[in-house]
Every structure is written in structure tokens, then in C-alpha cells.
A and B are shown apart, each in its own frame.
Chain A
Amino acid sequence: MSSPVTRPLRFLRRTLGPLVEPAVFDFWSRELGSTASRSRIQARVVAKRAESARAVTLELQPNRRFEGFLPGQHVNITVEIDGRRVTRSYSLTGVPREDDRLSLTVQQVEGGLVSGHLYTDCRVGDVVELGAAFGEMTLPEILPFKLLLLAAGSGVTPLMSLVRELAQRGMPVDTTLVYWARHRADLCFVPELKALAAREPKFNLRFALTGDAVTGTDELRGRPSRELLADVAPDLSERAVYACGPAGFVAEVELLARTQARSFQSEAFTPPVFAPVESQSEVTLMLAKSNRVVRVASGQPLLAALEAQGIKPPSGCRMGICNTCACGKRDGLTRNLKNGGENAEPESNLRICISSAQSDLTLDL
């Protein structure tokens, strides 16, 4: 349908659009200090504050490419460290706002690349790249059951977002949050949570410490156990449970609560560990674009291994120079056969002719 008005406009966009490449547009936008982009979600860090002895909260102002989120969801954030762009997931801790501003809370991980960067080096004014929000641990419109939120460490972040949403909705159901940390000083959002608990009779708050002695009435001691759960939620069978934390914690509380609770939803934060397989064993390759799964021997050049399975990805020199065979790697551990280096990070251009799988992999093929 082209009206007399849209036709010339469309003509202009068709003829002029290609003259300003997205990369050129984005370049000048950056030079002018803007985060505007033709296709990418860029966000500026507009505030940074300490949230605990080991965590900082960052507030981000994304550009118009960000399409919103639901409380409880996460985003991938990409930062540049020593010239390389690295991506990790972080949960959004706030509720959606009129001005689209986002907040996330990052806990420093010992020797952590991205958490260390965000905690120490990242400054107000820096620009980071975001992905679209993802995650299923969200609240339904209607809340048929009471809630039990179980958080451990930095796993509190998406649950904090849910608590804030509940507060905004006037705490429609009885909600209990149990929040584990080793030390009191590691706890995040304490003043806000305490104030909410004081204000909202339907919101119960317990901090569970594994490393410090208990002092306050809202504190508990010890790791998750049947007794502890019975104490904080004797009515567990009437509650929907949301749990978030390291993989070990999530597995533990799932075992304790899943069968009794009304429902059980969880998210684990610990990054997958790509256990290197023994030499000469088999690994599974997920070919994401063609939706295929193949088993190949580890340690073999991926290109040759795929070809042996009758799959013919584009290729050229077969010696790692022409880049024809390069494809995206979403996850998994690979080894560069030319220099022996191993890489567990996702990559946009893995040269499969000189790389071997050292664990199961997902490839953009």
C-alpha cells in the first residue's frame, strides 16, 4: 500500500539508506557521544553504587533498540576488556520504567573477567552492549498461590526484581523471601528489603547466613534443610517456589521443595563447566542453524569430522588462513590445533578447519 506521501519517502530511504551503512551511522553516533544505533542495543552507564561489600549496582540507559523486559528476566551484556568484547548474563533487578532505565547488580567473582571489570573498572559514562531480555522466571498476571522466594548469593537479583514488582502491585499475595549469603556484609538490597518488610505485613523476610553468627530476629543460620524450610514456610504446600543461585544451591532446594510446593521454578547462575573430554572420545555437536545433532570424535579438526558425517560446510584453505569456514560457536570448549590454545568463550568466527571439539559444542551451522 503506498500512498503519495509514503512513496517518495520510501524512494528516499531506498536510494539514500544504502549510502549510510549501519556501521557508518553507528560510528558518527558514537563520535557525537550518542548511544543511538541502527541495529544494536547500546546502553550508557548512568550510575554506579556499592550494593554490598562485594557487589555494585549499575544503572543503564539503553537506546531505543531495547524492547523492554519482564521482572525476573536477564540480559546479556557485552563489555570490552583488553580490546576483546566479552559477554555474560546479568539479571535486571528493577521493574520496567517509563524512561527505560535498567539496573543490574554484579557480584565480584574471584578472578572473574567480566564481574571484575564491571565491579572495578567500569565507570559512569561507559557504553556497553546489551542483548534482548530473556528468561522464564516471571510472575503471572494473576497470582493464585502464596510465594516462597529462595535466593543465594548473586541469585537474589532476579528475585529482587520480582519483589519490587510485587511491592508495586501492592503485595497481592503473602510472600516470603529467604536470602542466603556467607556473610552479612555480602547481602545486597538490605535497607530496601527491611523497609518493605516493615511496611508490608504480607512480606516476610529472612536472611540466612552460613558464615556469621545470627544477631537479628530476621536472621537464620545454616544451609538449606528440611527443618529450615519447615520453619520459614510451614505452609509450603500452598506456595509457589522461585529459587535462584549457584547450581549446587538450586539443586539442593529443588530436592527439598519440589514435591511439596505448588510449583517450582528456578534459575542457576553458575556458568556451565565444559569438562574437557578425554582424548579420542566422542562429543556431541549441536548444529543450531540446520537443527542437527552429530557425534564426532574429539581432538579431530571439526571441518574434517563434519565432512566425514556427510556435512559440507563452506571451506577453503583447510589450514586456518582464508577464514572461509569460520562459523559462530555458541558454547563449548574448543582447541586451536595450530597453537594448542583452548577457548571456552562463545566466538563469532571459529575456524573449524583448525579447531577441534574438546567438549560438546553448539555451532552456527
Chain B
Amino acid sequence: MNTPDRKLSPAEIESFGAELDALRARIVADLGEKDAKYIKNIVRTVRYTEVAGRGLLYAGMFPPAFVLGSVLLGFSKIVENMELGHNVMHAQYDWMNDPELNGQTYEWDTSCTSDNWRKTHNYEHHTYTNVMGKDHDIGYGVLRLYPEQKWEPRFLANPVMALILMTFFQHLLALQSLELERIVGAKSKEQRKTELARVKKDIKPIWKKMRKQLFKDYVFFPALAGPFFPIVFAGNVAANLMRNLWSSAVIYCGHFTEDAEVFPIESLENETRGHWYLRQMRGSSNFTGTKLMHIMSGNLSHQIEHHLFPDIPGRRYAEMSVEVRRICEKYGQHYNSAPMAKQFLGVWKRIFRGALPNKPTRFKAAPAANVERAEELVAA
């Protein structure tokens, strides 16, 4: 563990927030042509690599074409999901007024429906980041990562579960909003019945999108290859697996690293904007890497900046991070950043540690204050 964060006075927390607000305003005022060009080039990259990847798979009996085809298709899916879909759905490009890049209508190339994602991720996860009982992304209901989470025997399977989650990430993410663990955890027959009924209703749109994705990748495109169906099928499996492993690794590194913190539900009471920023920062972690890694992670390599400014185009996080780091230093706050391999190792330590019970742990001191949210904005 790094040096603990300095305890801030309410006045300090306020000016900490004000500095981040000012940074945000500066970048917002500068958004324009460069950002529009960038995202359009990302769209272009996604489309061309998809066509090239799928095209090469049809020559897949020739092994280099199979490998290259699968990798290109996987790459296309990764960039579509991360830098394009995830970021567009955060309304990062709404200022362009482009209906194809509209945060509320964009539909991404993965099993999870965009509507569910906008609820579980944009709203729940980003608003209640790392708040126990509010942020379902803390282990997705199946992993135990923090000692503050209550231990149950099922968590003995933590490492296996983590691997399963990574492998089938797209489908399990799609099912996340169903909170299936609530069926397992039902206390009575009655409760189980209500939970089952709820799941049965909510699964309809999810199953529809899943079916579409499965049909497209595993039936339609392979069928076009006629006798070479199995080759194209295998290429699609490889591409989806590549995407699943990579995107889950990126996401694990964003909130489950060694120094990431969780917060009790009471921390939400009367939380000010400054506190909110502070919580986002303490619950998130960055990883360093090459430019390609940043793009392929949808700039979630700058998870801290993403959580502070979820609606600012991801390509801006790198330049913002310089300033955020400076502000953190000024206020004595730890800025959690390390090479990806190191962060990922930390995540796995958590996964193994979480499998076994531990002594009850208390939350670290949590921020709290006494102003209301939207109403506070007016006063500002």
C-alpha cells in the first residue's frame, strides 16, 4: 500500500473539486474538429478491420489468413466495444449532434443491450462507483474482491469464477442486469419465485440481442463459407474470446487493483461534488502502456480521468491526466497508476485473497458532507 491519502478539510475538498471543474471546463471549451475527426477515424478503423478480418477468415484454410483474420476481427470488436461503443454511450460525442454517435441511441457490437448497459454502467456504476451494495460492478455479484465484502462458501471458487467471467465476458455482462445471484441467495421459496419471475421478464430483450449476436457470428458468417463453415466459426470464436479476455482484463484493472478502495453506503449521504470526485479517484486505477494499448482500452487505461469526467472524449484523458496528477499531488492524494501487468497481478492477488474468509474489516474513513446534488449546482 502506498502512502495513505491526506485527510482533507471540507474547504480543501471543495477547492479540490473546483480545480477539477475548471480543468473540465477548459477541455469542454476546446472540443471541436480534432475530436470529431478522431472518432470518425475510429469508426473507419472498426469498419475496415472488421471487413478485412471477416474477409481473411474465408481464406482461413490457409493458416496465416486464419490467424490474421481472427486477430483483425478481434481487434475490430475490441475497438468498437471500447473506444467507440463504450465512449459514445457515455455521451462523449453528443456535442457533435451526429445521430450515428448519439449516446442514447448507439447500439454496440456485443451481447449486452445498450439500454441495460446505460443503466447498470452509466448510471449505477458511474454514480455509485465502488459503493458497497450500490455498485454491482464490485465483483458483478459473483466475485469477492474486497475484504469488506461478506464471505460466503461460494467464493472459494473465486479464481475459477474470475476466469469464467473473463472467457464469457460478453454474455455474462449481458446477464449482469439480471443479478442472477439473487436467485441463489433467496431466503425463502416465495422470494425465489419472485426473483425467477423478475428474471424471466427481464431476460427477453437480453436474449433477443444475444441471439442476434450469436446468429451473426456463429451461424450467418460461417454459413456464407459453405463447406468451410467450421473454419470461419472457429475464427469468430477466437475473435470473440480475444475481445472478452482483453476487455475484462482492462475492466478488472480499472477498479480491482491493489490500491482501489470501496465505500460504505453511508458515504453517499449528503455527498458534495468534491467528495464525489474524491470517491471516483480512490475507487479507480490507471495503467500505463503504449498508444495502441490506450486506444484498445477505450482510454480506460485512464480510468481515473474517465471516472472524473465520464462524458469527455476519451482521447482527451491523456492530456488531462497530467493536470489531474498535479492536483492529486497538491492535495496529497494517491494517484493509482502502474504498468498494466503490475495492476493485473494486483487484481489476481485480490481474487485469490478474496476466496478465503478474513477478519471483518472496517471501511476507511469515508467522505461525507451536507449539500444536495443538483441543488448544489444551482448555488455554484
Chain A: residues with CB nearer than 8 A to chain B?
Answer: 15-16, 18-19, 21, 23-24, 26-28, 31, 40, 78, 80, 82-86, 299-301, 303-304, 316-324, 326, 337-339, 341, 347-349, 351, 353-354, 356
Please name all residues of chain B whose beta carbon is closer than 8 Å to the beta carbon of A304 when the two chains form the complex: 374-375
Closest to B219 in A: A15
The yes or no answer to B373 lying at the interface (CB within 8 A) is yes
Please name all residues of chain A whose beta carbon is closer than 8 Å to the beta carbon of B346 when the two chains form the complex: none
In the bound complex, CA of A38 to CA of B94 (Å) = 21
A82 touches B33 (CB 8 A): yes
Q: In the complex where A19-B216, A322-B118, A326-B103 touch, is A301 in contact with B377 (Cβ < 8 A)?
A: yes
In the bound complex, CA of A84 to CA of B36 (Å) = 8
A317 touches B31 (CB 8 A): no
- Tell me which residues from 70 to 129 in chain B have a Cβ below 8 Å from any Cβ of chain A: 89-91, 94-100, 102-104, 107, 118-119, 122-123, 126-127
Please name all residues of chain A whose beta carbon is closer than 8 Å to the beta carbon of B148 when the two chains form the complex: none
A323 touches B311 (CB 8 A): yes
The yes or no answer to B330 lying at the interface (CB within 8 A) is no
In the bound complex, CA of A21 to CA of B273 (Å) = 40
Q: In the complex where A323-B91, A337-B378, A353-B374 touch, is A85 in contact with B102 (Cβ < 8 A)?
A: no
In the bound complex, CA of A86 to CA of B38 (Å) = 19
Q: In the complex where A318-B374, A324-B122 touch, is A84 in contact with B97 (Cβ < 8 A)?
A: yes
B102 touches A349 (CB 8 A): yes
Closest to B127 in A: A317
Given A319-B127, A339-B21, A341-B28, 16 extra CB contacts under 8 A: A26-B100, A80-B36, A83-B31, A83-B34, A83-B35, A83-B36, A301-B377, A319-B276, A321-B122, A321-B311, A323-B94, A323-B311, A337-B374, A337-B377, A337-B378, A338-B377
List of 10 A-B pairs having minimum Cβ-Cβ separation, nearest first: A83-B36, A316-B123, A317-B127, A85-B97, A322-B123, A323-B91, A337-B377, A82-B32, A322-B122, A83-B33
Contact of B122 among A21, A31, A323 (CB under 8 A): A323
A82 to chain B minimum Cβ distance, whole angstroms, is 4
B378 touches A84 (CB 8 A): no
In the bound complex, CA of A293 to CA of B104 (Å) = 25
Contact of A83 among B37, B119, B122, B310 (CB under 8 A): B37
**Interface on chain B toward A: helix, strand, loop, or mixed SS?**
helix
In the bound complex, CA of A147 to CA of B298 (Å) = 62
Q: In the complex where A83-B32, A83-B34 touch, is A319 in contact with B377 (Cβ < 8 A)?
A: yes
B123 touches A84 (CB 8 A): no
29 interchain pairs (CB within 8 A)? A24-B47, A27-B100, A78-B97, A82-B36, A83-B31, A83-B34, A83-B36, A300-B378, A301-B375, A301-B377, A304-B374, A317-B126, A317-B127, A321-B127, A322-B122, A322-B123, A322-B126, A322-B127, A323-B90, A324-B122, A326-B103, A337-B377, A337-B378, A337-B380, A338-B377, A339-B28, A341-B28, A349-B102, A354-B377
B374 touches A27 (CB 8 A): no
In the bound complex, CA of A26 to CA of B118 (Å) = 25
A11 to chain B minimum Cβ distance, whole angstroms, is 13
The yes or no answer to B43 lying at the interface (CB within 8 A) is yes
In the bound complex, CA of A338 to CA of B379 (Å) = 10
Please name all residues of chain A whose beta carbon is closer than 8 Å to the beta carbon of B107 when the two chains form the complex: 21
A323 touches B220 (CB 8 A): no
The yes or no answer to B212 lying at the interface (CB within 8 A) is yes
A323 touches B104 (CB 8 A): yes
The yes or no answer to B24 lying at the interface (CB within 8 A) is yes
A303 touches B374 (CB 8 A): yes
The yes or no answer to B25 lying at the interface (CB within 8 A) is yes
B288 to chain A minimum Cβ distance, whole angstroms, is 25
Please name all residues of chain B whose beta carbon is closer than 8 Å to the beta carbon of A24 when the two chains form the complex: 47
In the bound complex, CA of A301 to CA of B276 (Å) = 19
Closest to A356 in B: B378
Instruction: Give the one of B95, B104, B310 with max A CB within 10 A.
Output: B104
- Tell me which residues from 14 to 40 in chain B have a Cβ below 8 Å from any Cβ of chain A: 21, 24-25, 28, 31-37
Closest to A339 in B: B25
Please name all residues of chain B whose beta carbon is closer than 8 Å to the beta carbon of A337 when the two chains form the complex: 374, 377-378, 380
A123 to chain B minimum Cβ distance, whole angstroms, is 16
In the bound complex, CA of A15 to CA of B119 (Å) = 29
A318 touches B373 (CB 8 A): yes
Closest to A303 in B: B374
Closest to B378 in A: A337
- Tell me which residues from 205 to 256 in chain B have a Cβ below 8 Å from any Cβ of chain A: 212, 216, 220
In the bound complex, CA of A160 to CA of B118 (Å) = 49
In the bound complex, CA of A23 to CA of B89 (Å) = 15
Contact of B32 among A78, A84, A339, A354 (CB under 8 A): A84
Please name all residues of chain B whose beta carbon is closer than 8 Å to the beta carbon of A324 when the two chains form the complex: 118-119, 122-123
B234 to chain A minimum Cβ distance, whole angstroms, is 20
Q: In the complex where A323-B104, A326-B103, A349-B103 touch, is A84 in contact with B374 (Cβ < 8 A)?
A: no
Please name all residues of chain B whose beta carbon is closer than 8 Å to the beta carbon of A320 when the two chains form the complex: 311, 377
Please name all residues of chain A whose beta carbon is closer than 8 Å to the beta carbon of B311 when the two chains form the complex: 320-321, 323
Closest to A317 in B: B127
Q: B26-65 vs A: 1/0 string, CB under 8 Å? A: 0010011111110000011001000000000000000000
A81 to chain B minimum Cβ distance, whole angstroms, is 9
B119 touches A349 (CB 8 A): no
Please name all residues of chain B whose beta carbon is closer than 8 Å to the beta carbon of A351 when the two chains form the complex: 91
Q: In the complex where A83-B96, A301-B378, A339-B25 touch, is A27 in contact with B47 (Cβ < 8 A)?
A: yes
Contact of A354 among B91, B94, B374 (CB under 8 A): B374
Closest to A78 in B: B97
In the bound complex, CA of A349 to CA of B103 (Å) = 8
In the bound complex, CA of A192 to CA of B259 (Å) = 76
Closest to B379 in A: A337
Contact of A326 among B25, B99, B104 (CB under 8 A): B104
Please name all residues of chain A whose beta carbon is closer than 8 Å to the beta carbon of B36 when the two chains form the complex: 80, 82-84
Please name all residues of chain B whose beta carbon is closer than 8 Å to the beta carbon of A349 when the two chains form the complex: 91, 94, 102-104
